[in-house]
Chains A and B, each alone.
Chain A
Amino acid sequence: MSDTTDVEDVESFAARARAWLAANMPRPPDESRRDPSDDSDEEELRRVARSRRLQRLLYDGGFAGICVPSAYGGQGLTLAHQLAFNEEIADYDYPTETQLPTFTPCLPVILEFGTEDQKNTHIPPMLRGETAWMQLLSEPSGGSDVAAALTTAARDGDEWVLNGSKIWTTGAWWADWGLCLARTNWDVPKHRGLSVFMLDMHQPGIEIHRIEMLNGSREFCQEFLTDVRVPESLRVGAVDGGWTVGVRWMLHERTVLGQSPYVTGEPVRRRLGQGPGGGVAPLLQRARDLGLLTDPKASELIGEVFAMSVVGSTLGSHIAEGIRTGRLAEDAGAITRLYVGTSAVRNASIAFELAGLSAIAWSDSEAELGKRGIDYLMRQAACIGGGTTEMSRNVISERVLGMPRERAFDRDVPFRDVPRSAPQR
């Protein structure tokens, strides 16, 4: 990961980061002063803009892309430096909205498979906060079986013409670029006819529809691609070799929750703190308001939420270390993913239980409690997004424990002959 032999030692780097953060980085915005019910587009765009500014600040300070080679605008340091930086930045604001999936999986995929030109063109703007990326994987026909993508790219001279639809793309309406998996050959088995493209989201032919979730959020998008022209220079990896890219892509996606060398901040702890249920702080506050801090049942439940987040943060580094030392297969990031999903589900249930009847019917002043009810309705999202927990369990059993793979009906058959879902949408 480093491209110099005499790398700055971690302690002096951390000291330098500490001083720089104190002088330059704002503290996190006070959540309590923000209206939690304000999930308007304007508010979202404000948060994105803030995130981009913070990223630029990191870049100017020499702390963006800590593990990215300096040739592409990064710092050329090691994971240990990134982890030290994450410790230092814990009490400050950081670019939350534009962190994922830009810095993982998109950035490492381009680093691993991009041409020199592609890396020079696309990585520095990511690090400067100028481009936010999306991953265009899931399709209306299915998301777990990613390699069964139906979106098709046909060659036309030195261009590719893309047609099809991608779905569940969080934040696509404000994103700049997308990494898109598409079928370039229907006459070979599923895994051998895919290619990966970089997609300028603002170009003609891409129509973005917002999808309303049951909680009212309109962050999810569906993209309809109609004769979208993509120059050959934006193809990543080999023609029909997209699954080689895809395998690494999924792997990097799972490091989101463990220790990614490219992600700034502490995703596991923060996500657990902010996930469904809103973390432990509001639960504590409510128990205090109601005089329930000494109630055994309430304090057990609150303690459980806190315990799950403490365990989650140690699990992330434990698994990452297991992978580094070779004790665990590289796919073991699926263990962390499963943990985050299942614990978020449990936390949402606890928060709902503690909110009492106000979670199902609330007055204006109880809006915060009503949100626990809505979070509970959305509970399973934590076990679906980023690949479902069923898929994680497949990965853990088959690739970490080495158990026999499920029987597949789509090997060695031309993809066009593979049975698939009835068309949707």
Chain B
Amino acid sequence: MFRAVGDQELFQETTRRFLEVEVPLAKVRDLAGTTDGYEPSFWRQGAQLGWTSLLVPEDAGGGSISGHGVVDLALVAYEFGLHAAPGPLIGTNVVAAALGRWGTDDQRAGPLADLLAGDAAGAWAHAEPAPNDGLGDLALTATRSGDGFSLHGVKSPVEAGRQAAYILVSARHESGPTQFLIPSNAPGLMIKPLHGLDMTRRHARLEFDGVTVPSTHLVGRPGSAGANIDWLLDLAVSIQLAEMCGALTWAFDTTVDWAFNRYSFGRPLASYQELKHRFADMKMWLEASCAISADAAAAMDRDQAQRSERVSAGKFYVGRYGPELMQDCVQMHGGIGVTFDHDLHLFLRRIVTDVPTYGTPGQHAARLTGILAGADR
């Protein structure tokens, strides 16, 4: 329901076919038992299809399909949601986008090239555990230490934190928000895998107990990353929203089919007005979710207020009504809806995991008020 135009159509179709063949739901279930949740060859092939290069400028080895890379990537993300596909899509793209925009020549030649080729994954280490889990909170500190910096603090949960070779860390320096790109084998960095609801994606807790990094690991100047981190947050959410829409579409379509084919008292479920009305509400939630999510992706190249307005309105809406839609799909299925055998929970798990990730719906609503109050002053 994200409308592809021109060359995007073939691009989206190619990703769709690839996911259908490579990660059908039976395969997704098999992969669920593995440590990483995806195979390196799968990711490398995806990179060849363009999954990792869309947000990176051409002079850094990337390139978009339509001239608007986030909109292109949203189409991929939608397909990921639709297929419950594993793989470090958001983290890798956030890191690649950051290096493409603000990276040094060395960072572009090494890490970025690896990400573009699909030889390595990226992770965005931004969120922190309570009580530092407010939107915009940043407690991990970076202090000068010799020629470099010393990092103290915790990032958690970090998606693909253990799978990624390169980690983009946001930190608080005395001069302001600062970003670093560090290798996952940086001395002193503790990466602890977490248990999680999602069967397709992995999360980790990253502990920085005086991890020293050289100045060459800085992404941008110290203290200058505030606006950049804000942009990355909007970027991560806009990709996440497209993914959520894909997952919601799968659940809705599957449940509509079920309602036509499941009989009770001699008639299909789809003939009962009480259920029809709930399907009407679900259809509204789904269409509104897709509308605002497509708009949020398209707004990523606008100025901060317009961009964040769309993104936060999207995260509020999809985050609030997406899970309602999923749970209603479960309800309409009856008992089978809460079984492990039925595929619905693969999608339910993803949606529920997405809701608080990169800001809760409530936090994004409050952020909107901040934007309004700022514009109004």
Contacts and interface: CB of A to CB of B under 8 A. Distances in A.
A394 B270 CA distance: 12
A306 B276 contact: no
Nearest to B376: A284
A401 B370 CA distance: 39
Interface stretch (B149-157, B207-215, B281-289): B281-289
Contact of B268 (A299, A325, A404): A404
B185 interface: no
Interface stretch (B47-55, B291-299, B333-341): B291-299
A393 B316 contact: no
Contacts of B276: 393-394, 397-398, 401, 403
Interface string B257-275: 0011000000110110100
Given A310-B310, A311-B292, A404-B271, A302 B287 contact: no
Interface residues of B, number: 42
A311 B284 contact: no
B252 to A, nearest CB: 10
A403 B276 CA distance: 7
A397 B162 CA distance: 45
Nearest to B259: A403
A80 to B, nearest CB: 16
A318 B291 contact: yes
Contacts of A284: 369, 372-373, 376
A299 B260 CA distance: 42
A161 interface: no
Contacts of B290: 318
A335 B309 contact: no
A315 interface: yes
Given A401-B256, A404-B270, A404-B271, A303 B365 contact: yes
A91 interface: no
Interface string A366-410: 000000000000000000000000101110111011011010000
Contacts of A325: 3
A132 to B, nearest CB: 32
A11 interface: no
B277 A293 contact: no
B258 to A, nearest CB: 12
Interface in A398-425: 398, 400-401, 403-404, 406
Interface string A291-324: 0010010111111101110111011011101100
A398 B271 CA distance: 9
B291 A401 contact: no
A225 to B, nearest CB: 34
B280 to A, nearest CB: 4
Contact of B279 (A298, A299, A317, A401): A401
Contacts of B287: 315, 318-319, 322, 332, 335
B358 to A, nearest CB: 16
B364 interface: yes
Nearest to B319: A307
Most buried by B among A394, A400, A401: A401
Given A280-B372, A315-B287, A315-B291, A308 B317 contact: yes
Given A335-B283, A396-B283, A314 B365 contact: no
A296 B369 CA distance: 10
A384 B290 CA distance: 26
Interface of B: 1, 3, 256, 259-260, 267-268, 270-271, 273, 276-277, 279-281, 283-284, 287-288, 290-292, 294-295, 309-310, 312-314, 316-317, 362, 364-370, 372-373, 376
Given A300-B362, A318-B290, 12 more contacts: A299-B366, A304-B316, A307-B316, A310-B292, A311-B288, A327-B1, A338-B280, A393-B277, A393-B281, A396-B279, A396-B280, A397-B277
Interface of A: 280, 284, 287-288, 293, 296, 298-304, 306-308, 310-312, 314-315, 317-319, 321-322, 325, 327, 332, 334-335, 338-339, 342, 390, 392-394, 396-398, 400-401, 403-404, 406
28 contacts: A280-B372, A284-B373, A288-B373, A296-B366, A298-B369, A299-B370, A303-B316, A303-B366, A303-B368, A307-B312, A311-B291, A311-B317, A315-B288, A318-B294, A318-B295, A319-B291, A322-B287, A334-B280, A338-B284, A339-B284, A393-B276, A393-B281, A394-B277, A397-B276, A397-B283, A403-B276, A403-B279, A404-B267
